[in-house]
A and B are shown apart, each in its own frame.
Chain A
Amino acid sequence: MAVADPIIASPSERHERLARTWSDGRGVYGWFTNVHHTTIGRRYMITSFLFFVLGGILAALIRLQLARPENHLLDPDKYNQIFTVHGSTMIFLFAVPMMYQAFGVYLVPLMVGARNIAFPRLAAFSYYIYVGGCLLLWGGLLLNIGADTGWFSYVTLSGPAFSPGKRVDFWAQMITFTELSALAVAVCLIVTIFKHRAPGMTLNRMPLLIWEKLVLSFMVIFAMPAVMLVSSMLLMDRTANTHFFNPAEGGDVLLYQHLFWFFGHPDVYIIFLPGAAIVSTLVTTFSRRHIFGYPGIVVATIATGFLGFGVWVHHMFATGLPQLSESFFTAATLMIVIPTAYQFFCWVATLWTGRPQLRLPMLWVGGFFFVFLIGGLSGLMLASVPVDQQVHDTFFVVAHFHYVLIGGAVFPMFGALYYWYPKIVGRMANETLARVHFWLFFIGFNLTFFTMHFLGLRGMPRRVYTYLPEMHWASLNLIATSGAIFMTAGVLVFLFNVFWSREKGPIATANPWGAGTLEWGVSSPPPPYNFLNIPIVSGREALWDDPPHQPVVSGLRDDVREMLLTNSLDAEPEGREEQPGPSIWPFVSAVVVSVVLIGSIFTLWAVVYGIVPIIITIVGWIWPTQREASQTRSHEKWSVAP
C-alpha cells in the first residue's frame, strides 16, 4: 500500500516514511540538488547577510574617507567604486534578497501549511542565479574594475562615451541576475499562496505576512521588468552601438530615469513592506491578541502596492519637469503616507488593548518605531518640491533613506531573525548579547545618520569623495564616522551570538513565544516535510483559534512528494500535485545562464550561442526518468473522466 493509513500507522512510522520521501540529497553533490524551501530560504538568509556585512565594510571605508576634509585614504577612483558597490550591494544583494526572497521562501510555505514551495526547482534556480549576480558585482570590485557610476548609473555618465571599459557592464548585468532571481521567487510565492494554502485558510484568514508577500510579489512582477529593460538598454548602448540614451542620435537621458525610478521607487516599498509585516506579526504575538484592524491593514498593504507605482517622479524633481506634474507627484507621495500611518495607528492600538510582553524581538520593534518614523517625517519634507530641490542629492537625503531603509527593514529584520531564530536553528539566541547588540546598533545608527541631516542642510552634496576644510563640515563628519564604529561592533556581537547560541543556546520548544501562525505548530527546526498532517485552519491565528484537537487532512501520499492543491479564494481542496524531487539541473541551468549573461558583456553573440545550451538544461530540468514517469502514471487520476 502506497500510503500509510494515518489512523492505523503510528506517527513515528509516518514520520519516517515522509522524512525519507522529502529529504534532500546530502554531500557536496547533494548540496547542489536541494530543492526544499527551508534549505533555500536559509541559504538566501546566510548569503544576503554576508553581503550586508560586506556592504557594511564598504560603508565603513566611506565613513573613514570622509572623517576629515581632503583625506587621502581613498582616491576618487576607489571611492566611486566603493560607494557604487555599497549602494548596489545593499539594495540588490542584501535588502531585497533578505526581506523578500529569504523570508518569503523560508516562511511562506510554513505559514500557509504546505510541505514545500510551489515550483521548488525554480526556487533553487533563483538562488544560484542570485549568487551569480553577487559574484559578478564583487568580482569586478575585487579586480579594481568595479562599477563606478553609482547604484543608479545615470546616463550619459554610464554610457559608452564617458565610461569606457567593462565596469558599468558588471553593474548592468548584475541587475539582470538579481531581478531574474526576484521574479522567479515572485512566481513561486504567488503560486504557493494561491494553490497550496491549508484548507480553511480563506483569503480573510491569511496571516498579514502572507498578504504582504502576495502584494510584494505582484510589485516585483511589475517593477523588476522596468529595471531589467533599462539595464539591458544601457548594455546594448555600450556593446551594440544602439542609441537609446544618446542625445546626439535622438536618444534621451530622462527616459533612463523614468524607467529606472519606475522600478526604483516601488523597490523602496518592496524593502519596507516586509518590515511592516514583520512588525505586524511581532506586535500580534507579543500583545497576546489578534491584530487590531486586520482588514484595514490588508487594504493599506494593497494600497501601498498600488501607490508605490505612482510616485517615481519625485526622484526627478530637480530635472525641470512641468510644475503641474510636480504637484501631482507631491500629492501622490503624500497620499502614500496614509496607509503607512494607518498601520502605525493599528500597531499602537493592538499594543494598547493587548497585554504586551516586551520580549527580545520587541526591542527591535521599538527601535523601528523610533527610527523609521524619523525617516517617514523627513520624507514629508522631501515630498514637497521646493524643499526637495534644496536638499535633493545632499546628505539630508542620505540620512532620510537610511532612516527609512535601516529603520524600515534592518531593524525589523533583526527582530525577525531573533524571533524566528529558534524555529530555524532549534535553539534560543542569547538574550544579553542580543540586548548589547541592539543598543550598540541603535546608538551607532543615530549618531551616524542623524548627523547627516545637518550636513545636508549645510550644503554637503552626496557622492563626494572629499570636501574642502573651509566648508565647516569636518566635525559633523567625524561624529558620523564615530557612529559607524558602534554599528560595526553591534553587528559583530550579533554574529558572535548567532554562532555561539547555535551550539550553546537552550533548546527551543516548538512554540517558545506562544505565537499563533502555523510555522509554530511544527517542531523547531521543522522536519523535512514540514507538516506531518496538513492542518485545517479555522482562524487568522491558526494555533490560537483552532479547536484543541487540531482537525487535519488525511490521504496525501507519503511515498512521493505530494502536495495539496486548494482553491485560491476559499482554500477548498481541489486536487493533489506530485512535486519533482532533488535535481542538479537548476544548478547546471543557472551556471549556463550565468556564462551566457557574462559572455554577453563582451559580445552580444553570446546570447545566440547560448540558446542551444540553455534549451538542453531546461529539457534536462523537466524531463523525468523512465522510473519516475511510470511511477507517476501509476497513480494519476483525472479530474474528469477522459
Chain B
Amino acid sequence: MDRRPTFVMDVSDLPTIVFRERNPIFWGNVLYMTIEGAMFAMVFASYFYLRTRSTEWPPGVNPPYVWYGIANTLLLLISVLPARWIQLRARAGDLRGSRNGLLVLAAFGAVALIIRGFEFPALNCRWDTNAYGSMIWAMLILHTGHLLTEWVETLVMIAFASSSRMEGKRFPDFDVNSDYWYFVVGWVIVMNFVLYWAPRFL
C-alpha cells in the first residue's frame, strides 16, 4: 500500500477469552452439529421412506424391546443438568468447578454407553435380517458413535482441566462441549420415538 495508513482504532484492550457467538469455536461447533444434524435427518427420512415401501412394519420381526432405550433416554435427560452447570462455572472461570462438572458428565456418559450395549440386542433383529434391520442398526450405531465421541471429548477436557497446560481459552471449550452434549441428548429423544415407537404405531 503506497498510501500512508492512519491508525484510528487500537484493539489491544480487546479480550482474548470470549464466549458464545463471539468465539470462533462456538461457530465451529454449531456448524459441526448442523452437518451431523443434516446426516441424522436424512437417516430418519430414509427410515420413513423405507416404511412406505412395506405393508408390514416392522417387516417380519418383533418391534424392539423398549425399556433399555427409555432408561438411557432418561439418564441422558438428567445429564443435561451437569452439562449446564459446567457452562455456568466455565463462564465464571472456575477451573475446579468446571473439572468436577466434567467428571460427573463423563460418569453419565460411561453409564449411558454401558446401557447402550444392552440396547443393540434388544432391537430384536440383526442388521442383515432385512432393510428395516439395517436401518435401525445404522441409526443406533450412528448415535453411539457420537455419544462415544462426545464422551472422549469430555475426557480430553478433563485432561486439559487437570493439566499444567490448561489455558484460559479452554473455558470456552468447556462451554461448547456442553452444547454438543445437548445435541447428543436432543437427538436421542428423537431417535427414541423413531426407533421404539414408530414400529408400534405406524
B9 touches A619 (CB 8 A): no
- Complex CA distance for A623 and B170, rounded to whole angstroms: 11
- B39→A638 contact, CB < 8 A: no
Contacts of B13 in A (CB 8 A): 555, 637
Q: Of A226, A549, A565, which one neighbours B18 at CB under 8 angstroms?
A: A565
CB contacts under 8 Å to B, within A213-252, are: 221-222, 224-226, 228-229, 233, 236-237, 240-244, 246, 249-252
Are A551 and B164 also in contact (CB < 8 A) when A250-B131, A637-B15 are? no
- Cα(A445)–Cα(B13), bound, Å: 57
B11 within 8 A of A: yes
**B14–chain A nearest beta-carbon distance, Å:** 5
Instruction: Name A576's contact: one of B14, B53, B128 (CB within 8 Å).
Output: B14
Nearest A residue to B4 via CB reads: A549
Contact check: which of B12, B38, B93 meets A221 at CB < 8 Å?
A: B38
Shortest distance from the beta carbon of B97 to any chain A beta carbon, whole Å:
11
A638 engages B11 (CB within 8 Å): no
Is the CB–CB distance between A552 and B6 below 8 Å?
A: yes
Contact A550 B3 (CB under 8 A): yes
Write the nearest CB–CB distance from B68 to chain A, whole angstroms.
Answer: 22
- In the complex, what's the smallest C-beta–C-beta distance from B200 to chain A, in angstroms? 18
Q: Are A633 and B168 in contact (CB under 8 A)?
A: yes
In chain A, positions 245-266 with a C-beta closer than 8 Å to chain B are: 246, 249-252, 255, 258-259, 262
Query: How many A residues, CB 8 Å from partner?
Result: 83
Cβ of A554 and Cβ of B11 under 8 Å apart?
Answer: yes
Q: How distant is B173 from chain A, measured CB to nearest CB, in Å?
A: 9
Name the A residues within 8 Å of B1 (CB-CB): 510, 521-522, 532, 550
Q: B15 contacts which of A191, A258, A551, A639 (Cβ < 8 Å)?
A: A639
- Provide the bound-state CA to CA distance between A242 and B133, in Å: 8
Given contacts A521-B1, A565-B24, contact A250 B15 (CB under 8 A): no
Determine if B199 is an interface residue (Cβ-Cβ < 8 Å): no
Q: A616: shortest Cβ distance to chain B, in Å?
A: 11
A59 at the interface (CB under 8 A from B): no
A633: which B residues are within 8 A, CB to CB? 167-168
* Residue contact A629 to B138, C-beta cutoff 8 Å: no
A196–B11 alpha-carbon span in the complex (Å) = 14
Beta-carbon contact of A242 and B128 below 8 Å = yes
Task: Contacts A244-B134, A556-B11, A575-B16 given; indicate if A221 touches B35 (C-beta within 8 A).
Answer: yes
Q: Is the Cβ of B24 less than 8 Å from the Cβ of A191?
A: yes
Known: A565-B24, A615-B152. Contact between A636 and B39, CB under 8 A? no
Q: Are B128 and A240 in touch, CB under 8 angstroms?
A: yes
Determine whether B65 belongs to the interface, using a CB cutoff of 8 Å to chain A: no
Most buried by A among B14, B133, B169: B14
Residue numbers in A under 8 Å from B164 (CB-CB):
626, 629
Point out the residues of chain A lying under 8 angstroms from B50, CB to CB. Answer: 250-252, 255
**Contact across chains for B31 and A187 when beta carbons are under 8 A apart:** yes
**Residues of chain A whose beta carbon lies under 8 Å from any beta carbon of chain B:** 3, 6-7, 118-119, 183, 186-187, 190-191, 194-196, 199, 221-222, 224-226, 228-229, 233, 236-237, 240-244, 246, 249-252, 255, 258-259, 262, 510, 521-522, 532-533, 535-536, 548-557, 564-565, 567-568, 573-578, 611, 615, 618-619, 622-626, 629, 632-633, 635-639, 642
Known A-B contacts: A242-B134, A249-B130. Give 14 more (CB < 8 A).
A186-B31, A233-B134, A236-B138, A244-B138, A249-B129, A250-B50, A533-B7, A536-B9, A552-B6, A556-B12, A576-B15, A578-B169, A624-B167, A629-B167
Chain B residues in the interface with A (C-beta under 8 A): 1, 3-19, 21-24, 27-28, 31-32, 34-36, 38-39, 42-43, 46, 49-50, 53-54, 59, 92-94, 127-135, 137-138, 148, 152, 156, 159, 164-169
Q: Can you list 6 A-B pairs, Cβ within 8 angstroms, ordered by A? A: A194-B27, A199-B9, A221-B31, A242-B127, A536-B8, A642-B94
